[in-house]
Structures are given as structure tokens and as C-alpha cells.
Amino acid sequence: MQERILTGDRITGKLHLGHYVGSLKNRVELQNSYECFVLLADVQALTTHFNHPAIVRDNLRNVAMDYLAAGIDPNRSTLFIQSMIPEIAELTVYFSMFVTVNSLRHNPTIKSEAAERGYTQLNYGFLGYPVSQAADIAICRATLIPVGEDQVPHIEQTRKIIRRFHDLYRPVFPEPQALIGAIPRLSGLDGGRKMGKSSGNAISLDSSPQQVNELIQKATTDPERIHKSDPGHPDICPIYSYHKAFNAPQAEDIYRNCSQGTIGCSECKARIAGQINKLLEPMNERRETISKYPKQIDEILISGTERARVLARETMQEVREAMGIAYFGPNTFQ
């Protein structure tokens, strides 16, 4: 079977280094071999940002630009906007009939994100996020889902939903597999937590060299290390985790020198900032070119969404037939 990839991001902010190593790098590589659909998840952005829709609207083109700058090729990958595919919302409703509230409450990512955001009550849409994600994947009949580690419980939930649909009605969808990036969970600049758009601890992919230097200089390091000669604990230092992610050939050296107190934090930081800037430089160059043609970005989004909609309609017709609710045949109102 030809693999089909579905992947995407909530458009809650500009993409960051965590996206790059967690999933974006994989997408850029895989688009050459597989059919690739990339979702700009505005509906899922609203699960936490419904009271700030302007943030969602303003980030649509930012994220699209991040994709193109990182090397997503619109001739190979279909970029599409979630809210403009009503079939996704429709399938979410059908799936929601047989997903139990308990299975959603126990989803570890839902639990940890709710705790991190301080939610004492869970909104229906927030709790239902994994169901809508299952619908994104199923509507595209995708087989391979490049994601960071935090999304693994959602993919597992998707597989369960699809199996249940097949037991209840008949097989329509392939069972998707998660494809985890080389760095499944990049730490934020504050250590501990994952780097996240909404967490204020990220280095966005459009950062200038000066911004990268400043953010890295301010980043948390091993709190027990005061003097350069104090032995460091690289395993708990986000800067060391960045060396592993973006400076692999020298990471072992850094580990030894930090543990022995023979490299200071500011040199260690300067070295990683240099490597990150090397990674971002070609992206920034591409972004500068692309940003001169805003109309082209809109055209890419419109034509991608149109293409995805054709597929979504086909899938929904099959879904209705499988469920026995395709009353008048496929093209009754067209």
C-alpha cells in the first residue's frame, strides 16, 4: 500500500525548534517518497484559544511561511486549512458517538496539558481534541503520522477509534502508525517542560542570530553550577539537550567537559547558539524570498485545501455508506 502522511500543527504561534526536530524535519524528508498532507489546525488551536481567535487568524500565514521556509514543497505536499474542510467536523461527530468520556479523561496528554494550563473544568472541545485528531487522520486515510512524543497517546486513541468503527460498521480506513522524530521531546529554554508555542519557552524558526544568542544566554542551566570549575550535570541541562539535537558530533565532548568542569556555561551556550544559527540561516533566507509573495502563499493554501476537500468528500461518502446512512447516493445536491 502507498503510504500517505498526515501531519500538522495547531496555529497558535510560530513554529519552533521542537517542531523542527520532533516532526518537521521528517516531513521535509518524507515528502519526496510519500504523498504528504499537512494540516494547519485552526480548529484544534481554538480548543485552547477560543477566546483569542485573532491569535489563530494571525498565525495562519506565519505557520504556512514556516513550512515553506523549512523546505515543505507545495508541489509535493498538500497544505490545507482544517476549518475549511467541514467533513472533518462531521466525522468528528460520528466518531464521538462511541468514544467514552473516561477514555478521553485518562488520555495522558490531555491530563498533562490541562494541568499545565491550570484548567479546573474541561471544555467539551478540549476534551474531544483526540477525537477531532482521529477525524483529521481518518478523513485523509493516512497511514503514517510524523509527530512528537506528546502526540503518541492521541495516535493510539485514533487507532482505537478506527478499530471500533470497523467493528461497528465495516473497514474504511487504514490503521495509522506514529512516526516519532529523532528528538521526540525537545526541552524548553526553562528546562523541564517541553518547548511549546504557548509556553513562552521556545526559539522560533524565524529567529535572527541575535535573538537566538539572547534567548540561549538567558536559558536555564544546571542550577548547582555556579563557577566554571564546578562539575556540571549535563543530563538535566536544556543546553546539553540542544547540543545532542543540533550539535551531535560535539555532544560527547561537551558532556565530558561539562561534567569535569572544564567548559563554562557561557562558552557552551555560545557554541550551541552558533550551531542553531547555522541551521536557521537557510530557512531565514528562504523566508525572506517567500515573504515578498504573500499572494502566492494564499494560493498555495487555497489550492491545497481544495485538493484535501475532494479526498474528504470521497471518504465521507464511504463513511456514510459503511454506516448505512447514505440515503440518496453520492451526488444528490451537487
Minimum distance between the CB of residue 226 and ligand ATP, rounded to whole angstroms?
A: 28
Binding mask 111-150 for ligand ATP (x = CB under 6 A): ------------------------------------xx-x
Minimum distance between the CB of residue 326 and ligand ATP, rounded to whole angstroms?
A: 34
Q: Which residues contact 292 (CB under 8 A, 6 or more apart)?
A: none
Residue entry with cell 515573504: 291
Minimum distance between the CB of residue 133 and ligand ATP, rounded to whole angstroms?
A: 10
Smallest CA-to-CA distance from 164 within 98, 90, 88 is with 98
Which of residues 143, 151, 158, 315 is near ligand ATP by CB under 6 A?
Answer: 151
Q: Does 18 sit near ligand ATP (CB under 6 A)?
A: yes
Q: Does 10 sit near ligand ATP (CB under 6 A)?
A: yes
Dihedral sign, CA of 259, 262, 263, 265? positive
**Strand locations in the chain, DSSP E?**
4-10, 35-41, 77-81, 144-147, 177-180
- The SS3 of residue 40 is strand
Q: Nearer Cβ to ligand ATP, position 194 or 269? A: 194
- The SS3 of residue 332 is coil
Q: Does 42 sit near ligand ATP (CB under 6 A)?
A: no
Quick check: 142 and 176 in contact, CB under 8 A?
A: yes
Q: Which stretch binds ligand ATP (CB under 6 A): 15-23, 242-250, 285-293, 311-319?
A: 15-23
Q: Nearer Cβ to ligand ATP, position 151 or 277? A: 151
Q: Nearer Cβ to ligand ATP, position 153 or 232? A: 153
Smallest CA-to-CA distance from 304 within 73, 54, 4, 12 is with 73
What is the distance between the alpha carbons of residues 192 and 237, in angstroms, rounded to a whole number? 9
Q: Nearer Cβ to ligand ATP, position 148 or 232? A: 148
* Angle (nearest 5°) at CA 162 between 160 and 163: 65
Minimum distance between the CB of residue 12 and ligand ATP, rounded to whole angstroms?
A: 4
Quick check: 188 and 195 in contact, CB under 8 A?
A: yes
Residue entry with cell 451537487: 334
Minimum distance between the CB of residue 238 and ligand ATP, rounded to whole angstroms?
A: 11
β-pair partners for 178: 145
What is the distance between the alpha carbons of residues 274 and 257, in angstroms, rounded to a whole number? 18
Which of residues 5, 9, 74, 283 is near ligand ATP by CB under 6 A?
Answer: 9
Q: Nearer Cβ to ligand ATP, position 23 or 82? A: 23
Total site size for ligand ATP, rule CB under 6 A: 19
Minimum distance between the CB of residue 296 and ligand ATP, rounded to whole angstroms?
A: 24
What is the distance between the alpha carbons of residues 188 and 217, in angstroms, rounded to a whole number? 13
Report 190-229 residues binding ligand ATP (CB under 6 A). 194-199
* Residue closest to ligand ATP, measured at CB: 22
Q: Does 19 sit near ligand ATP (CB under 6 A)?
A: yes
Half-sphere exposure for 2 (CA within 13 Å, toward CB): 9
Q: Which stretch binds ligand ATP (CB under 6 A): 12-20, 52-60, 87-95, 293-301?
A: 12-20
Sites of contact with ligand ATP (CB under 6 A): 9-10, 12, 18-19, 22-23, 147-148, 150-151, 185-186, 194-199
